C-alpha cells in the first residue's frame, strides 16, 4: 500500500471522479482505491473533462515510460498541478452547465443540435 493522503490523515475525504475506461474500472484498480479509502464518483457520459482536461494531461504524458506505478502517479500529479487555474475553472463551469442540463432533462442524454 502507498502512503496516500487518506492514510496520513484519515479525516481527509478523497473523492475520485474518473472516467469509465476499463483500466480505471478493473477489479485491481477498484480494490486499490478501496484500500486507500478513495471514494468513486460516478462519471457522467460526455463530461467536459473528457474533452477538455484529460486530453491535455494525456498529451503531456504521451510517450513517457515509467519504471514504477509510483513514478507514473508522480508524473500524473505534476501534470495535473501544472494546469493553470483558469483552465480548471473553465472545465468545471462547463461541467456544471452540463449537469444542470442533465438534471433539467431528468437524466436523459442530450447533445448540441
Q: At what angle are helices 53-61 and 69-82 packed, to 10 degrees? A: 130
* 41-65 pLDDT, tens digit each: 666 655 666 667 778 888 889 999 9
Q: Taking Cα atoms as reference points, which of 47, 40, 38, 42 lies closest to residue 92?
A: 47
Same structural domain, 28 and 71: no
Averaged pLDDT for residues 82-105: 81
Same structural domain, 38 and 93: no
Q: Which domain holds residue 22?
A: 1-43
The reported pLDDT for the residue numbered 1 is 42
Same structural domain, 82 and 113: yes
Same structural domain, 52 and 34: no
Summary mean pLDDT of the chain: 76
Residue 112 confidence class, pLDDT cut points 50, 70, 90: low
pTM above 0.85, yes or no: no
Same structural domain, 34 and 61: no
The reported pLDDT for the residue numbered 5 is 46
> Structural domain tally of the chain?
2
DSSP state of 47: -
The CB density around residue 80, as the number of other CB atoms within 10 Å, is 14
Same structural domain, 35 and 56: no
Residue 91 confidence class, pLDDT cut points 50, 70, 90: confident
Amino acid at each position: 500500500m502507498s502512503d496516500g493522503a487518506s492514510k496520513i490523515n484519515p479525516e481527509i475525504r478523497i473523492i475520485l471522479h474518473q472516467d469509465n475506461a476499463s483500466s480505471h474500472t478493473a477489479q485491481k484498480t477498484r480494490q486499490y482505491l478501496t484500500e486507500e479509502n478513495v471514494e468513486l464518483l460516478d462519471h457522467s457520459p460526455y463530461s467536459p473533462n473528457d474533452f477538455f482536461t484529460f486530453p491535455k494531461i494525456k498529451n503531456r504524458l504521451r510517450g513517457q515510460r515509467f519504471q514504477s506505478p509510483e513514478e507514473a502517479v508522480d508524473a500524473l500529479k505534476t501534470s495535473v498541478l501544472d494546469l493553470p487555474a483558469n483552465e480548471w475553472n473553465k472545465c468545471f463551469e462547463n461541467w456544471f452547465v452540463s449537469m444542470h442540463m442533465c438534471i433539467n432533462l431528468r437524466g436523459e442524454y442530450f447533445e448540441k443540435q
